[in-house]
Amino acid sequence: MELKEYILPLRKWWWLIIASTLVATVSSIIATRQQAPIYQTHATMMIGRAINDPNPTGNEVWLTQQLATTYIDIAQRAPVQDATREALGLSWLPDYTLQLIPSTQLIELAVTDTDPVRAQAVANELVNQIVLQSPSGLDPEEERRQGFINEQLASLERGIQETQTEIDRKQAELADMFSARQIADTQTQIQGLQSKLSSLQGNYAALLANTNKGAINTINVIEWAALPTSPIGPNSLYTILLAAAIGFMLAAGAAHVMEYLDDTLKNPDDVYKELELTTLGAVPDLGDVSDSVNALVTLKDGQSPGKEAYRVLRTNLQFAAVDKPLRQILITSPSPSEGKSITAANLGIALAQADERVIVIDADLHRPRLHRLFKLTNNVGLTTALLDEHPDPESLLQETTTPGLRVLTSGPLPPNPAELLGSSRMRNLISTLQGQADVLVFDSPPTTVLADAAILSTQVDGVLFVLKSGATKRDIARRAAEALSHVNARIVGVLLNAMPSRGSGYYYYYYYYNKSDYYDSDHGDGGAGGLLPWRRKQRRRRKRKQASAQTPTPQPVHTSTETN
């Protein structure tokens, strides 16, 4: 798949992408302006006293980290939240998070709120409630007990110091004694003091174990929450850019999805991939073609994209039939309303403007339209000739305002069109008409609807397949092409109708339109632009022959429109 196949949907649906991006951007701007500023404050707690211990063990560090994880989980549960709300008189709490700072014993608490004062109060109260969940948070009875223990510890400290001082003094006196009895008594006293010292130290250690001094399971507040002064959000620019990007991506994705779900043929690449047929022309959208003035663009003065497109089609048909010239061309389409009748009329005019003798035959015996386009009567026509054993086609042909172009209308509609078109009389009629014209252009019914086109395709030199860009379904076009191939019809190429002048198919239309400048050296309506040199010489010889025979020029017949 080429890069252009990804880009073309974006070009085709550019308005959807721009609209989606603008809507997302404007909506995000409005939403961010309506949002209140957001403030955030932080508090930090430390588990244990490892930082105060000059020689902390690895087990103490690991244990404090596990305790920190436990306290983080406790802080996010209902007891702590309920106690915080009750203490502050709030019915709800703003968002807050707790996280363990990696490789430390520190817990960081963050509270986010639109009110900075409330954020600070909630953060500090949460810290207080977390501390109360630890041994650091004591009730009054426990505080009284800890006070008594602290007093006993202080008394034991004084006793230990006094006993140690007495031992030191006795040992100093022992060095100056000479009497054996005094020495023995002093040594006995020193031993008694040492026993007393050991007892005091043991009691001190036992009481110390019941206090928070040196404990691991404690919480110390390192940093209380401060009052935030600057908001942290919302990040308006980031939100707007993100919304615009999301809107763009959604619209671009929708464009590609719609193109994927669109099973119509839109450009020559699609035609070749699905049908393996060459596109001989691309006619732009002609607008309202219910009026023959708009439909027959080749009759308009001056230059126009539609007029040039049919000239290009005329030239490409001649190049497509170099080996076997196209003297009978059948115009058909897969489905109704794809522009086959308008194509037949404009192609006939374009050929006549190139000095060809052309007869356009309305072989659509179900919904004929050529008599309306050329504003001719339809009392007699093709069916009249087919029902007559000895028809006079010359009397049935009607002149048009274009010199060299005559039309054989459908005539009264029969109940059995397929039988008439496949009869030997139809073959004889084609042979007769071919003697009176250089090119016969047949307008036939749609291929997938009726069998008429398949029957006629076996009696002509080539078939021009008319498709409507962005409307003809791939499956229907494929079935129509297969139906013609089954009867060995010669499909010379495809004409794409209603080609958009912008979007995914624009560059194809631009190619075909500008190619006419190369083929058509004479841009006048009566010029022979696009004809091969030998065809031009043939036209000149016929003109000289007609002039020498003094053949009168037929006058166009202007008749009123008739409805079948």
| Residue-level pLDDT at 547 | 54
| Residue-level pLDDT at 557 | 35
Q: How confident is the model at residue 520 (pLDDT cuts 50, 70, 90)?
A: very low
For residues 287-316, give the mean pLDDT.
86
| Residue-level pLDDT at 498 | 87
3-state helix, strand and coil shares in percent for the chain, rounded to the nearest 5: 50, 15, 35
pLDDT at 169 over 80: yes
> Residue 378: helix, strand or coil by DSSP?
coil
Q: 110 near 96, Cβ under 8 Å? A: yes
For residues 231-239, give the mean pLDDT.
87
pLDDT at 116 over 90: yes
Helix (H) or strand (E) holding 480: helix 474-486
Show me where the domains of the chain are located: 140-211, 263-520+533-548
pLDDT at 236 over 60: yes
pLDDT at 517 over 70: no
For residues 310-314, give the mean pLDDT.
92
Concatenated DSSP letters of 204-248: HHHHHTTSSTT-SS-EEEEEPPP---S--B--HHHHHHHHHHHHH
For residues 454-476, give the mean pLDDT.
92
Partners of residue 41 on adjacent β-strands: 111
| Residue-level pLDDT at 139 | 56
Q: Backbone phi, then psi, for 462, in 5-degree steps?
A: -165, 160
For residues 421-437, give the mean pLDDT.
92
For residues 418-425, give the mean pLDDT.
91
Q: Which two tokens stand for residue 356?
A: 């060809």
Query: Over the stretch 339-393, which tens digit does the pLDDT of each residue have?
Result: 999 999 999 999 999 999 999 999 999 999 999 999 999 999 999 999 988 888 8
For residues 172-181, give the mean pLDDT.
80
The CA-atom distances, in angstroms, between 207 and each of 5, 393, 530 are 84, 132, 116
Nearest to 310 by CA among 444, 159, 464, 448: 464
The pTM of the full predicted model, rounded to 2 decimals, is 0.59
Query: Over the stretch 198-220, which tens digit does the pLDDT of each residue have?
Result: 888 888 777 766 665 556 788 88
pLDDT at 513 over 60: no
Q: Yes or no: is domain 263-520+533-548 CATH 3.40.50.9100?
A: no
For residues 110-136, give the mean pLDDT.
92
The least confident of 33-47, 124-138, 275-289 is 124-138
Q: Which two tokens stand for residue 33?
A: 């302006």
Partners of residue 358 on adjacent β-strands: 405, 439
| Residue-level pLDDT at 512 | 46
Q: 337 near 467, Cβ under 8 Å? A: no
